[in-house]
Homo-oligomer: A and B are copies of this chain.
Amino acid sequence: MLKPGATIGILGGGQLGRMLSVAASRLGLKCHIYEPGAGAPAGQVAERIFTAPYGDTGCLRAFAEGVDVITYEFENIPTAALDLLESLRPIRPGRHALAISQDRILEKSFLNEIGLTTAPWAEVTDAASLEAAIASIGAPSILKTTRLGYDGKGQARIMTPEDAPAALAAMGGATAVLEGFVDFSAEISVIAARGLDGAVACYDPGENVHRAGILHTTTVPAKIPPSLRSDAVLIAARILNALNYVGVLGVELFVTPGGLLVNEIAPRVHNSGHWTQAGCAVDQFEQHIRAIAGWPLGDGSRYADVEMLNLIGADVARVPEFARAKNTQIHLYGKAEAKPGRKMGHVNRVL
């Protein structure tokens, strides 16, 4: 159990790092941020920020040597940087979870191997393998790069086999995966945590609505029967245990007539878990810090119904309205400019 006064290193200085740093402060822990980009939101509430590219081994080393444990707020950290950091300090969650979540094919293979259902999928490296994949999975389906994709980027829909060449071109030569469309009635998320001692805790599943490929709202409780609620929690626990995971993990699930399908996992705090700031004694950010710092997991029981609404781009102009609203918590990320599609903040409304 890291003592108050210890320091946590966070790779990535965006809003997740920002809210992790604030949560760590409640436990008397300091945070150092490593972020290549200038003006990082997390730097405004951290003891120290290292602004340098991931290839700067001197800066990486100085960062690692100043902290007790390293975590991250996003998956796509260069492997060489991780190799160096791991030689100096523990990285939690560990490399295995990170490697799996960085690669859609590894991720789907892992999920299927531990007995979980995903959408039908096939690896695509060229026109021939795409043709074979469409023949097996059918259309409509969706082609995605295996790496570096998020919030709808690096994806192309295939409505008919004639869309195949354009979709393949959109992958830019990268290995891709073709996924069958899933007939789902809802998307839900489970935010789950596993401690250094192997204890597991799950937040109540939330129901997600996306707009233009970006999360729009998460509402708890999700409108699903108790049996699916249990299934969702068991799926999350199976993933955490199979990965010998330490920290918070987000699991996105599709609700289908045949039960739950795993859409994807994120080895970090997750946008669909922001509601926990308004509905639980210990939110997902503090839960993650507790886990990686070797503290006992906290009480994540939900004591309120909550709707989390993302403020994307120009939505941030609605802040004066939310500032006057009842039962409403505002969380802004300290980003200078409201670009289209950029996550500027969120509001949690207790229902």
Contacts and interface: CB of A to CB of B under 8 A. Distances in A.
A144 B303 CA distance: 45
A323 B295 contact: yes
A334 interface: yes
B278 A298 contact: no
A296 to B, nearest CB: 5
Interface string A319-347: 11001111111111111100000000100
A281 B328 CA distance: 6
A299 B323 CA distance: 9
Given A44-B30, A281-B328, A4 B316 contact: yes
Contact of A281 (B22, B290, B350): B350
A329 B26 contact: yes
Interface string A141-181: 00000000000000000000000000000000000000000
Interface in A1-38: 1, 4-5, 18, 21-22, 25-28, 30-31
B303 A350 contact: yes
A45 interface: yes
A303 B350 CA distance: 10
A47 interface: yes
Interface in A23-67: 25-28, 30-31, 43-47
A282 B329 contact: yes
Contact of A303 (B45, B304, B316): B304
Copies in the complex: 2
Nearest to A329: B281
A330 to B, nearest CB: 6
Instruction: Report the contact-size class of chain A (Cβ under 8 Å from the partner).
Output: 35 or more
A332 B282 CA distance: 14
Nearest to A295: B323
A334 B296 contact: no
Contacts of A28: 319, 332-335, 345
Among A44, A299, A324, A329, residue most surrounded by chain B Cβ atoms (within 10 Å): A44
A350 B304 CA distance: 13
Contact of A299 (B4, B5, B328): B328
Contacts of A316: 4
Contacts of A304: 303
In the complex, the 6 A-B pairs of residues with the closest C-beta atoms, listed nearest first: A28-B332, A44-B47, A45-B45, A296-B324, A25-B45, A296-B323
